[in-house]
Amino acid sequence: MKASQFFVSTLKEAPADAEVASHRLMLRAGFIKRLSAGIYTYMPMGLRVIRRIENIVREEMNAAGAIELLMPVVQPAELWQESGRFQKYGPELMRVKDRHERDFIIQPTSEEVVTDIARQELRSYRALPKNFYHIQTKFRDERRPRFGVMRGREFTMKDAYSFDRDLDAAGLSYDRMFAAYVKIFERMGLVFRAVVADNGSIGGIRSHEFQVIAATGEDAIVYSPDSGYAANMELAEAVAPASPRTVATRALEKTPTPAASTCDDVAALLALPLQRTVKSLVLATDVAADGAPPKTTIWLLLVRGDHSLNEIKAGKLAGLDAGFRFATVAEIEAHFGCKPGYLGPIGTTLPVRVVADRTVAAMSDFVCGANAEGFHYTGVNWVRDLPEPMLVADIRNVVEGDASPDGHGTLLVQRGIEVGHVFLLGAHYSKAMDATYLDESGKPQLLQMGCYGIGITRILGAAVEQNHDARGMIWPEALAPFTIVVCPIGYDRSEAVKAAADALHDELIAAGVDVLLDDRGERPGAMFADWELIGVPHRIVLSDRGLKVGEIEYQGRRDEKASVLPHVEAMAFMKAKLAA
Ligand SMILES: Nc1ncnc2c1ncn2[C@@H]1O[C@H](COP(=O)(O)OP(=O)(O)O)[C@@H](O)[C@H]1O
Ligand SMILES: [Mg+2]
């Protein structure tokens, strides 16, 4: 391919609203073009990477026995009403009407359509197992589209759906997809980790996310270097403290803490470790008993001062599992007789439900708000100063150094970008949509399902977050828009340079190498800067001066500087490089 026959369009500066490196670099390198919030055109250079990603995914899905089809982007609401998701799915679901005022949706995912296909087509146990997948445009009206293609509104996903006769068989389909995902991300040359993930609101059975490791990732993931344990922070268990509560050694005192309304401030003021303080978080639940106006309950959740509340865990507790919100200031003042900042479990004005994190339940001589502005209690001890909490539960995020829940080693935390998600669904959709097959004895049985997503376009961003430097992107060879760029200096002026560059280009093409010859006639500095920005892994430079002495230059995108090699060895050298 010659640059003059392709489309290369680079910018010196990225738009100011691009928050992360991958977004900035992709805009500057002409990979994507913004049309609207979270909606992008994939420009020719970016599309080449997307096609490479798709090819790897398609090859490995096919190899794992999945079968490709293509389901519609626009789907009738009826199916989504059958599954209950037309009502339940939040504003992320784009609902549209056609000219006859009939409801449709733009698919954020395709469980309903594929289950509808399965209930018509997979009528007998003999048809099972089956796994259908497609690579298709998705639309999710994300509340905060950001980071370019990483959290878009319109994006491309590979989604696969397995159908099995029972849960054991479905588990095998799940394992096969898991193994295919490992191969896919290995082939892409990405550093990733498969982590245990939250099963979500539909109560799936098993779920893993594939996370590309990157400092800017939206997800916190935890792992134990001493074992295979790895989980999303949302889910990772904070095990109960190994040592029990110690006996009280201090008297309860109401201590002035003027203007110290955070645990940090209080610890600093009292010259105590932050680990001796307890943080109060006030939640509310509104439960409607049929017809009557909703009854509000106020909850006080206690976590240690240096810990943070895990809302996913809290949302699984009995009473909070139907949904909760943070209490309003008015509700807080009514129940605690005090403004936020000095709240605690001792002496509330109205009853509240106290839930203590396991760590807090094991504390003694601790510090908490005194429900009086400018005061905290110090030397607080359970039983002596306040009743045992109504509920003790794991409600905090783990921190580095916590014991691994599998009993092996201590946890470390890193950040990741979720590029894939495998999910054992069971019969959730088949039950809602009455998708059954006939078993050997002719009895109808529910199809057992799994669903498996890969964020095709998100991978673009994730790969760049993981692989870039000050000069631009650094594509892993398997994903690069071009494998080699040939940069002739004076292509338009020197017959010798033109002839040598054309010949090398043709030979590389004949050898099946994805090469681009930059015949645009740019000056060397600008030309090199473009290809470093675009992140092509290999570059060869030809010049009159070099050719006169039989030499060319090679530089890998990660190399500090160029190396000189004999012109006659160019092909052999590149073949060896690419084989390595
Ligand atoms: N807004 C988005 N933009 C780009 N890719 C997305 C977006 N939402 C999800 N994906 C990709 O699709 C995959 C499957 O999505 P899924 O797990 O259903 O979404 P979520 O984790 O947001 O519930 C994710 O692992 C991710 O790679
Ligand atoms: Mg997910």
How many residues comprise the chain? Answer: 580
Q: Distance between CA atoms of 355 and 317, rounded to whole angstroms?
A: 10
- The predicted structure's pLDDT at residue 53: 98
The owner of tokens 């905290």 is 376
Q: Does the reported pTM lie above 0.75?
A: yes
Dig out the tokens for 42 from the structure. 């994939």
Q: Distance between CA atoms of 257 and 268, rounded to whole angstroms?
A: 10
Q: Distance between CA atoms of 482 and 515, rounded to whole angstroms?
A: 6
> Mutation test of ligand 1: which of 140, 149, 201 has the most ligand atoms closer than 8 Å to its C-beta?
140
Stretches in the chain below the pLDDT threshold 70: 201-203
Residue nearest to atom 18 of ligand 1 (CA): 453
Q: Distance between CA atoms of 35 and 531, rounded to whole angstroms?
A: 25
217 lines ligand 1 (CB under 6 A): no
Q: Distance between CA atoms of 198 and 175, rounded to whole angstroms?
A: 17
* Cα distance between the two ends of the chain: 24
The owner of tokens 């203007």 is 259
> Mutation test of ligand 1: which of 107, 458, 459, 465 has the most ligand atoms closer than 8 Å to its C-beta?
458
Distance in Å, CA 62 to ligand 2 centroid: 22
140 lines ligand 1 (CB under 6 A): yes
| Beta carbons of 343 and 332 less than 8 angstroms apart | yes
Task: Specify the DSSP element, H or E, that contains 335.
Answer: helix 329-336
> Residue 197 CA: which ligand is closest?
2
Q: Distance between CA atoms of 109 and 460, rounded to whole angstroms?
A: 20
Distance in Å, CA 152 to ligand 1 centroid: 9
Dig out the tokens for 348 from the structure. 């509330």
pLDDT tens across 69-90, in order? 999 999 999 999 999 999 999 9
The owner of tokens 């993931």 is 221
- The predicted structure's pLDDT at residue 17: 82
Q: For the stretch 130-150, what's the b/e string if a residue is b when 16 or more beta carbons lie within 10 angstroms of its beta carbon?
A: bbbbbbbebbbbbeebbbbbb
- The predicted structure's pLDDT at residue 498: 97
| Beta carbons of 471 and 529 less than 8 angstroms apart | yes
327 lines ligand 1 (CB under 6 A): no
Q: What is the CA radius of gyration of the chain?
A: 30
Of 129, 155, 157, 130, the residue nearest 142 (C-alpha): 155
Distance in Å, CA 455 to ligand 1 centroid: 6
Distance in Å, CA 225 to ligand 2 centroid: 24
pLDDT tens across 266-325, in order? 999 999 999 999 999 999 999 987 778 889 999 999 999 999 999 999 999 999 998 999
Can you name the residues that pair with 276 across neighbouring β-strands?
A: none
pLDDT tens across 9-44, in order? 999 888 888 889 999 999 999 999 999 999 999 999
| Beta carbons of 425 and 164 less than 8 angstroms apart | no
397 lines ligand 1 (CB under 6 A): no
Residue nearest to atom 2 of ligand 1 (CA): 151
- The predicted structure's pLDDT at residue 202: 64
Distance in Å, CA 305 to ligand 1 centroid: 33
> Residue 89 CA: which ligand is closest?
1
**What helix, strand, coil percent values describe the chain, rounded to 5?**
30, 30, 40
Task: Specify the DSSP element, H or E, that contains 33.
Answer: strand 32-36
Phi-psi region at 291: left, alpha or beta (left = phi > 0; alpha = psi -120 to 50): left
Residue nearest to atom 15 of ligand 1 (CA): 453
pLDDT tens across 499-534, in order? 999 999 999 999 999 999 999 999 999 999 999 999
Distance in Å, CA 78 to ligand 1 centroid: 24
SS (H, E, C) 46-75: HHHHHHHHHHHHHHHHHHCCCEECCCCCEE
| Beta carbons of 165 and 439 less than 8 angstroms apart | yes
Residue nearest to atom 8 of ligand 1 (CA): 151
Q: Which residues surround ligand 2, an ion (CB under 5 A)?
A: 421
DSSP string, 484-531: EEEEETTTTT-HHHHHHHHHHHHHHHHTT--EEE--S---HHHHHHHH
Distance in Å, CA 423 to ligand 1 centroid: 13
Strands 219-223 and 412-426: antiparallel
> Mutation test of ligand 1: which of 112, 421, 451 has the most ligand atoms closer than 8 Å to its C-beta?
421
Q: Distance between CA atoms of 242 and 223, rounded to whole angstroms?
A: 19
> Residue 159 CA: which ligand is closest?
1
Q: Distance between CA atoms of 131 and 152, rounded to whole angstroms?
A: 27
Task: Compute CA distances 274 → 95, 303, 341, 371, 395, whole Å.
Answer: 48, 12, 16, 19, 18
The one-character DSSP state at 391 is E
420 lines ligand 1 (CB under 6 A): yes
Using the atom order of ligand 1, give the atom closest to the CA of residue 152: 3
Can you name the residues that pair with 393 across neighbouring β-strands?
A: 357
Of 376, 156, 379, 113, the residue nearest 266 (C-alpha): 376
Distance in Å, CA 397 to ligand 2 centroid: 19
Residues contacting residue 271 through CB under 8 Å, at least 6 positions apart:
none
Using the atom order of ligand 1, give the atom closest to the CA of residue 140: 1
452 lines ligand 1 (CB under 6 A): no
- The predicted structure's pLDDT at residue 246: 92
> Mutation test of ligand 1: which of 155, 158, 451 has the most ligand atoms closer than 8 Å to its C-beta?
155
418 lines ligand 1 (CB under 6 A): yes
Distance in Å, CA 398 to ligand 2 centroid: 20
Strands 551-556 and 538-542: antiparallel
Task: Compute CA distances 187 → 380, 422, 519, whole Å.
Answer: 56, 18, 31
- The predicted structure's pLDDT at residue 242: 87
Q: How many CB atoms lie within 10 A of CB 465?
A: 24
